[in-house]
Amino acid sequence: MARFTADTSTFTQSADPQLSSPFFTVLPAEIRNLIYGEFWKLCSTRQHIVLKQEGDPELGQSVRKWSHVPCITDPEAEDTRFTRFLACDAASPERTLWGIRLKSEWCLHWQCGEQMRQAPVIPDDVVDQDASSSQPSLETGHLNLLTVCKRMYLESLPTLYASTTFIFTDTREAGDFLSLYGNGGDDDESERYPIRSLELSIRVPNIITEIYYPPAAGSNGDEGPPAVFAGRARPTLSMQHNRWQALCDRLADLPGLQDLRIWFDSSDLRPWHKRVSETRFFGRLFDVRVPDRRRFVLGLPELPERRGPDAQVLQDHYLEGGKLDKAPFTLERGPRPNNWRVHLRSIVSAGATAQSVAVMNVNGP
């Protein structure tokens, strides 16, 4: 979106004041800002930020560019994926489809992910072209306003950033984006156009949560992944050096954050309460500052009342009771898909489908 472009100082120096335009000379700034705000609402104030690969990698022409796609998911809607998965017949295409949606990296936003694959996302570097050049022929939402002229581009940016919720479903992309656009650089871009609202919907792989599992008694500390994951492929992976920790560091550095909502789940087949040390994994979030803790919501899986002897090692590692006294966030727990049941039923579905195909081949058309 706006700050994905070149330094806006170049626009400021070359922008025409548009003194012949009644929009700028007759309407006061307050009215113009209201108009900008209404336009952003029409374009959707909830936007997924994604990295899209363009070009042909085999020809050495592959480029990854930041893009955005409007969110179509109701943030208050119940997650019904697991229920629908269980309700489908074993050999049905619907069972396969819902199984894919349950494992989607887009999590609650699986509909947005499917929409993005069906329609082209909008490359944000389109606004790098001279504001006086011809307009894009496609309906490009925000760009319809941002490419009118340089003055409107610069004047509308504050309302765009003030009203947009940036949504991420990938920890690496979120961390990279905030590293580039969240904290500013040598200029004061982040102060003029601060990111105010963020939403993270994350389904983390178990290799990341395992890093935070409490070390065994007598071990040498927390450094490095558990032995089962240690290897040449990830020699530097540790609690201090991983993509989740990097994202948390970026969140803690955001200067103007007003709203933050994080929904979390794991792809681990084992139960959440048996493998995740919440106090260690989410410890850095205690350094994130949002003025009103009711507007910083951390959504985690439910914890069973009876946790069994195999969960005793994590007994003091759950975010509950006194552990939340100084938390800057509000904790909301809710049901999550049972990954183990999904895994087993997917195997059954694959077997049932194969058997159905075999019977059809034997009997003929």
What does the pLDDT look like over 31-62, one tens digit per residue? 999 999 999 998 889 999 998 877 666 666 66
Question: What pLDDT, on a 0 to 100 scale, did the predictor assign at position 321?
Answer: 93
Report which of residues 239 and 137 the model is more confident about: 239
- Torsion over CA: 170, 172, 175, 177 (sign): negative
Report which of residues 238 and 325 the model is more confident about: 325
**How many other C-beta atoms can be found within 10 angstroms of the C-beta atom of residue 234?**
15
d(CA 352, CA 311): 35
Mean pLDDT of 337-351: 85
What is this structure's pTM?
Answer: 0.81
- Cα dist from 308 to 167, 176, 304, whole Å: 36, 39, 9
What does the pLDDT look like over 73-82, one tens digit per residue? 998 899 999 9
Question: What pLDDT, on a 0 to 100 scale, did the predictor assign at position 161?
Answer: 87
Question: What pLDDT, on a 0 to 100 scale, did the predictor assign at position 287?
Answer: 97
Residues 6+ apart with CB under 8 A from 353: 91, 96
b/e per residue 17-43 (b: at least 16 CB within 10 A): ebeeeeebeeeeeeebbeebeebbeeb
Examine the pLDDT at 311 and tell me if it is beyond 80.
no
Examine the pLDDT at 148 and tell me if it is beyond 80.
yes
Number of domains in the chain: 1
Examine the pLDDT at 124 and tell me if it is beyond 80.
no
Question: What pLDDT, on a 0 to 100 scale, did the predictor assign at position 365?
Answer: 54
In percent, the amount of the chain with pLDDT more than 70 equals 75
What does the pLDDT look like over 151-193, one tens digit per residue? 998 898 889 888 999 999 999 999 999 988 876 444 455 566 7
Domain range spanning residue 12?
A: 2-54+62-363
Q: State how far Cα 63 lies from the chain centre.
A: 21
What is the 8-class DSSP label of residue 361? H
In percent, the amount of the chain with pLDDT more than 90 equals 49
- Torsion over CA: 316, 317, 319, 325 (sign): positive
Apex CA 178: angle with CA 290 and CA 327, to 5°? 25
d(CA 363, CA 355): 12
HSE-CB at 173 with a 13 A cutoff on CA atoms is 22
Question: What pLDDT, on a 0 to 100 scale, did the predictor assign at position 125?
Answer: 46
d(CA 289, CA 254): 8
Q: State how far Cα 115 lies from the chain centre.
A: 16
Range with top average pLDDT, 192-206, 234-248, 250-264 = 250-264
What does the pLDDT look like over 269-310, one tens digit per residue? 999 999 999 999 999 999 999 999 999 999 999 999 877 776
Contact 3, 68 (CB under 8 A): no
Question: What pLDDT, on a 0 to 100 scale, did the predictor assign at position 353?
Answer: 55
Examine the pLDDT at 337 and tell me if it is beyond 60.
yes
d(CA 224, CA 247): 18
